[in-house]
Structure 1
Amino acid sequence: MSNQTIHYDYIIIGAGAAGLMLAKAMSQDSFFDNSSILLLDKDSKTTNDRTWCFWEKGKGPFDHLVSKEWKHIHFSGKGFSKDYKIAPFTYKMVKGLDFYEDALNYISTKNNIRFKVEEVLSIEDKNEFAFITTSKQTYSSKRVFNSMFSYDRANQQTTYPVLQQHFLGWKIRTDQAVFDKDKATYMDFSVPQKGNTRFMYMLPFSSNEALVEYTLFSKDLLSEAEYKDALQTYISEDLQIKNFEIVDTEYGSIPMTCYPFSKNNSRHIYHIGTAGGWAKPSTGYAFMSTARKIPKLIHHLKTDKSLNILKFKNRFWYYDLILLDVLAKNNSQGHSIFTSIFRKRSPQLLFNFLDENTSLKEELYFIWSCPKWLFTKYLAKRLGITKKS
């Protein structure tokens, strides 16, 4: 490793959704043309290691990358099952590899931006600069954007519950036409709950190919065998598919917490993406949430003000907090909460609410669809904490 420290005006750690969206946004803005920008990741981003899904009205900035979209969704809960048309929304999917290639190809046309495949070993904020040590080099910058996520600090506190959205998905191919390719299964709670919030999520790509995913909202992960057994049972018994081939697998864990990750920011280091708490705490959806925050971050950088004053907390944070309080203490009630929402309210209202694009009147109407005794109880507890402080 070289002993020389190389300086950049901006350093972005992590070439995932947040890091690449930020790097591409900076490369498209002439304000940064004379700035040196470094993008670091331990991976070359040449494999399809994930997919991102999101809902959107009409056309959007990622349409050229969308590999599949659905105009209908299905929900199943205890004693309730329904198909929905979601217009004017469309549920869209972007493959990770397509996103990586698009962003990196664009960035490569800019002489002031470098992408280096190096593992970051340490990040330190010292006086005038932050220093990043990798497996090959040490770098310095006054503005570092870190998307490396860790549960450590969130798990060291008890003020905010910390759950995970964890899942194992199989992309399967059958020898017969069994899937409705125009309808995504948003949540299917027909699977045994076992004291948790557990459901199946399914994205059909064609009549004989689909991603089937076993998903939990809970504190602890399962053994690999438990995920696999649940998938095997659901596919063979619930979907009545006896012969299928597993084409690909997708495993992941997304934090569900209102812990203020902004506390981890320092004078020269600003956390972005999941590491910055940009994933929607109540759902784990992060792609479009990140896309909406990047322009605000770019605007803030042009003001030359301290990064620490840029925060994204709003009233929806409090709604998420109450839901997570409920799920943390009553994890087996998740199916009844979501069934009540889908039974009483439209998916269009749900999507607008999760997009934080509703009025206070609409929000109260939406929240009123949830089991009232549960949410009133935990709202009262939070108000009690506020009064004591």
Structure 2
Amino acid sequence: MKKTDYIITGAGASGLMLAYRMAQDTFFDDKSILIIDKEKNLTNNRTWCFWEQENGEWDDLIFKSWNHIYFGSDYYSEEINIAPYQYKMIRSAKFYRYLWEVIESKPNIQFLSAKVHGFTEMNDFVTVETSEGEVICNKLFNSILFDESFKTQQKFPLLQQHFIGWFVKCDTEVFNDNVATFMDFEIPQNGNTRFMYVLPTSKTEALFEYTLFSKDLLPKQDYENAIKDYLKQKGIENYQITETEHGAIPMTSFKFWKNNTKNVLHIGTAGGWTKASTGYTFMNTTKKTQAVVSYLKGNQDLSRFTRLTKFWFYDLLLLDVLAKHNGDGAKLFSSLFKKTNIKTILKFLDEESNLSEDLRIITAVPPLRFVKALLKRMF
């Protein structure tokens, strides 16, 4: 059986982005790379959003961007100018097609349409079991969440960012497409952290997502009823649902990277690349895939790729508080947005803030529960 240098399991955002970066770098031109997934997904099954200053790597793929965001709650509400940042939106179909066009231009990168059942590591190679048989590689980059022990462990809290979204179209101009609703907590909380997320893509079209940070999913009808109620609350009654989307993203500080070995690196959600405190993944994946490519040029021991940072601990404390006091999310986030400059918040969430900026964030949120969470972790 012929051995491949690198195998990437899963052709979602993280797997494709890593393959795309390898395709762009001449260092990998003499390396054989195999991507394995059931199919090449070219549909609009995902919407990714992120904030960025000025021009960025993915600007040609941007579907819509905003310079203003809205935060709303019973405690604090404001429309906020986020300049020099922009809040940017990408639809997955255009993103997938763009990456595949680059990947498929490289003869050393192949695609295998197959279901991945698992893998086994042996000394200096990895065997990947698929529905089309076994394939062998020197290094495996796995984005498939095989190990679900994070769901049953007790050391780290587990919440989920779960949502259903409706793309709606109206006959009249009812939306202000200059402002994205980042978080609107002015809806029934019902003991959880619940908010509406609204992205107006034109004056007649918008994406409405009913989103929760909580432990348990809801019946589908509950999400849909909440969106209907919110639209009615906003005076929007004549609309057409053009697309829908749904998702459940794990929010946890569980150390996924502990499963990394010399020859296996878990990437994407399977590697803990999702920002634990927010569920945002796209920009983190952009940075991580760049780092992986750079790392491979000087080091082949994949177990040493991931390093703990202060932001991992910050996320852990926030999740400790949200898990124990899930109904207080609106109050917590309101305090943060009310007392802190938006640029500092975005920089902090991007894990680019310095200690002084960290302290501004920490002192902006209700301190007692965080102190208790800190003491519990320490002792």
TM range (shorter): over 0.9
Map Cα deviations across residues 324-379 of structure 1 (whole Å, 9 max, x no partner). 00011110010100011111112211100011111101101111000111111111
**Equivalent residue, structure 2, for 1:220:** 216
> Relative to structure 2, which stretch is displaced further, 207-216 or 156-165?
156-165
**Equivalent residue, structure 1, for 2:235:** 240
CA contact (8 A) 1:167 1:214 kept: yes
| Superposed CA RMSD | 1.1
- Find the partner of 1:369 among 326, 348, 364: 364
What letter corresponds to residue 307 of structure 2 in structure 1? Answer: F
Which SS does the other structure have where 1:206 is aligned?
A: coil
> Relative to structure 2, which stretch is displaced further, 114-123 or 93-102?
114-123
Is residue 41 from structure 1 mapped to residue 37 from structure 2 by the alignment?
A: yes
> How many matched pairs?
379
After TM superposition, list the pairs within 5 Å mapping 1:3-82 onto structure 2.
Answer: 5-82=1-78
**Equivalent residue, structure 1, for 2:105:** 109
Quote how far apart the aligned CAs of 1:6 are: 4.0
Unaligned runs of 5+ in 1: 385-389
After TM superposition, list the pairs within 5 Å mapping 1:183-332 onto structure 2.
Answer: 183-236=179-232, 238-332=233-327
- Find the partner of 1:138 among 104, 117, 134: 134
Which SS does the other structure have where 2:227 is aligned?
A: helix
Please give the alpha-carbon distance, in whole angstroms, between the structure 2 residues aligned to 1:87 and 1:361: 21
**Equivalent residue, structure 2, for 1:163:** 159
Runs (4+) of structure 1 exceeding 6 A deviation are none
Please give the alpha-carbon distance, in whole angstroms, between the structure 2 residues aligned to 1:314 and 1:100: 31
**Equivalent residue, structure 2, for 1:177:** 173
Quote how far apart the aligned CAs of 1:128 are: 3.0
Which SS does the other structure have where 1:27 is aligned?
A: helix
Quote how far apart the aligned CAs of 1:151 are: 6.4
What letter corresponds to residue 84 of structure 2 in structure 1? Answer: P
**Equivalent residue, structure 1, for 2:92:** 96
With the length of structure 1 as denominator, give the TM-score of the two structures: 0.95
Which SS does the other structure have where 2:77 is aligned?
A: strand
Identity level (%): 46
**Equivalent residue, structure 2, for 1:387:** none
From the superposition, tell whether residues 123 and 150 of structure 1 become closer, same or farther in structure 2 (CA, over 3 Å).
Answer: closer
Please give the alpha-carbon distance, in whole angstroms, between the structure 2 residues aligned to 1:95 and 1:131: 34
What letter corresponds to residue 191 of structure 2 in structure 1? Answer: G
CA contact (8 A) 2:75 2:331 kept: no
What letter corresponds to residue 287 of structure 1 in structure 2? Answer: F
> Relative to structure 2, which stretch is displaced further, 350-359 or 41-50?
41-50
After TM superposition, list the pairs within 5 Å mapping 1:117-156 onto structure 2.
Answer: 117-150=113-146, 152-156=148-152
CA contact (8 A) 1:6 1:138 kept: no
Which SS does the other structure have where 1:8 is aligned?
A: strand
Please give the alpha-carbon distance, in whole angstroms, between the structure 2 residues aligned to 1:304 and 1:124: 22
